[in-house]
């Protein structure tokens, strides 16, 4: 057993025995279709990071290479501080190492940690750091082998999103959409806030059990809202954007917009011909169908879209399209 930063320290398993734990993977709907995380729900704080070594020149797996990486991991895990520091630099906390399962179990304590780790993961930085960490002299002294080596890492992205939302809820303040309409006020509770389905709200934990304090982004009205009516917005970027620029989605429209709702998903159709000015923009012809990637927010002039015919993904100006099959989030 190795010692970590926490009081109990991470445990290391090298395949000799099985450690019985609760399943890390609790099946949930993907957050794009609707989060099933509820306030007060206990969520596993651990996630498994799997790694596999491969040769760029080969299509299939390389068992000899994978075994060499496992052997190297068994050697370095004896000095737990090196492994702990590796993941600390990647904004994660090591719980345990499982050499025979080609995996690390990680956890996060803050939203900032999981946000940074997710970014490093998406950029390929986590895999690159593992390459540097697990390759010994036999790799470094063989330039041909080193250039051919690649380590791929995977995590359950849905569970990672669940962890993020769980930490977000623990911090007590987040942005959410209303799941249904409440247009009649209870005579016994004048503090209740009236809202419509898909309205956007800032929700704060006031320690009042099944209710929270909600503030409408569109009007600024505030009052108590039931926990069961609020669905947190799923993506870290949008939580950050709305926290920094809350009025951008709530201000009254000065002129009529093609998109009725403040935040939508789905698809849209080009209404103009457009030649890209920047390398990251999509080329459009009138009538082209574009799938919205992530969310389209009223306060942002551009969004990320995928061209349905070419499969290319890039920035799209909202003024160049109109809704086709757009759904409010």
**pLDDT tens sequence across 122-179:** 878 999 999 888 876 666 567 777 778 888 999 998 888 888 877 877 777 888 888 8
Say which residue, 328 or 153, is predicted with more confidence.
153
Paired tokens of 113: 């940690």
Q: Greater confidence, 209 or 47?
A: 47
The whole-number pLDDT of residue 82 equals 86
**Lowest-confidence pick of 186-190, 249-253, 258-262:** 249-253
Q: How far apart, in whole angstroms, are the C-alpha atoms of residue 174 and residue 204?
A: 7
**Distance between CA 305 and CA 318 in Å, rounded?**
10
Q: pLDDT at position 47, please? A: 94
Q: What pLDDT digit, counting tens, does each position of 231-257 carry?
A: 887 666 677 777 766 655 544 444 456
Average pLDDT, the chain: 77
What count of residues does the chain have?
Answer: 329
Contacts of 321 (CB under 8 A, 6+ apart): 258, 268, 269, 270, 271, 284, 290, 305
**pLDDT tens track for 27-58:** 333 333 334 444 445 566 899 999 998 888 88
Structure confidence at residue 220 (pLDDT)? 82
Can you tell me the mean pLDDT for 307-325? Answer: 91
Quote the pLDDT of residue 188.
60
How distant, in Å, are the alpha carbons of 23, 136, 212, 230, 231 from that of 203? 31, 50, 6, 8, 10
- Pick 11 or 98 by higher pLDDT: 98
Q: 61 falls in which pLDDT band (50, 70, 90)?
A: confident
Whether residue 3 is predicted with pLDDT greater than 80 in this model: the reply is: no
pLDDT of residue 183: 78
Tokens encoding 203: 């929700």
- State the pLDDT confidence band at 91, using cuts at 50, 70 and 90: very high
**Residues 113, 119 contacting (CB under 8 angstroms):** no
DSSP tag of 85? H
Mean pLDDT, range 319-323, rounded to an integer: 93
Alpha-helical segments (H) within the chain:
63-76, 80-89, 111-123, 125-134, 137-140, 143-148, 157-171, 236-244, 247-250
Q: What share of the chain is helix, strand, coil (3-state, %, to 5)?
A: 30, 30, 40
What are the chain's domains? Answer: 26-167 (no CATH), 172-182+192-244 (2.30.30.40), 263-328 (2.30.30.40)
Band (pLDDT 50/70/90 cuts) for residue 186 is: low
Alpha carbons 54 and 56: distance in angstroms, whole number: 6
Mean pLDDT of the region 293-299: 79
Residue 204 pLDDT more than 80? yes
| Per-residue pLDDT at 2 | 37
Q: What value does the mean pLDDT take over residues 62-72? A: 87
Q: Select the more confidently predicted residue: 287 or 248.
A: 287
- CB atoms near residue 104 (< 10 Å): 26
Q: How far apart are CA 166 and CA 42, in angstroms?
A: 8
144-150, long-range: CB < 8 A, 24+ apart: 147/56, 148/55, 148/56, 148/57, 149/53, 149/54, 149/55, 149/56, 149/65, 150/53, 150/54, 150/55, 150/56
CB 195 within 8 A of CB 182: yes
pLDDT of 92 > 90? The answer is yes
Asked whether the predicted pLDDT for residue 79 surpasses 80, the reply is: no
Q: So what's the pLDDT on residue 90? A: 94
**Per-residue pLDDT at 320:** 94
Residues 204-208 have a mean pLDDT of 80
Q: How far apart are CA 98 and CA 295, in angstroms?
A: 37
């Amino acid at each position: 057993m190795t010692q970590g930063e926490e009081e109990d320290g991470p445990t290391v398993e090298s395949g000799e025995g099985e450690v019985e734990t609760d399943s890390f993977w609790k099946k949930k709907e993907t957050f794009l279709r609707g989060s099933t995380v509820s306030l007060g729900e206990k969520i596993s704080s651990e996630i498994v990071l799997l790694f596999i070594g491969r040769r760029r020149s080969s299509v299939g797996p390389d068992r000899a290479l994978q075994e060499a990486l496992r052997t190297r991991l068994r050697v370095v895990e004896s000095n737990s501080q090196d492994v702990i520091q590796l993941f600390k630099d990647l904004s994660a906390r090591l719980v345990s190492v499982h050499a025979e399962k080609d995996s690390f179990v990680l956890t996060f304590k803050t939203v900032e940690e999981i946000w940074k780790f997710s970014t490093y993961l998406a950029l390929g930085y986590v895999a690159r750091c593992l390459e540097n960490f697990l390759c010994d002299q036999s790799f470094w002294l063989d330039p041909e082998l080193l250039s051919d080596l690649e380590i791929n890492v995977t995590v359950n992205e849905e569970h990672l999103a669940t962890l993020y939302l769980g930490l977000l809820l623990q911090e007590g303040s987040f942005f959410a959409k209303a799941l249904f309409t409440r247009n009649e006020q209870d005579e016994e509770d004048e503090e209740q806030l009236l809202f419509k389905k898909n309205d956007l709200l800032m929700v704060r934990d006031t320690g009042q059990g099944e209710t929270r304090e909600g503030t409408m982004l569109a009007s600024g009205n505030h009052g108590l809202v039931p926990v069961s009516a609020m669905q947190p917005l799923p993506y870290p970027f949008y939580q950050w954007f709305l926290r920094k620029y809350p009025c951008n989605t709530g201000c009254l429209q000065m002129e009529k917009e093609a998109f009725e709702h403040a935040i939508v998903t789905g698809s849209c159709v080009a209404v103009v011909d457009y030649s890209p000015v920047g390398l990251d923009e999509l080329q459009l012809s009138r009538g082209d169908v574009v799938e919205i990637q992530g969310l389209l927010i009223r306060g942002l002039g551009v969004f990320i879209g995928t061209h349905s015919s070419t499969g290319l993904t890039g920035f799209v100006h909202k003024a160049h399209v109109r809704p086709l099959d757009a759904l409010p989030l």
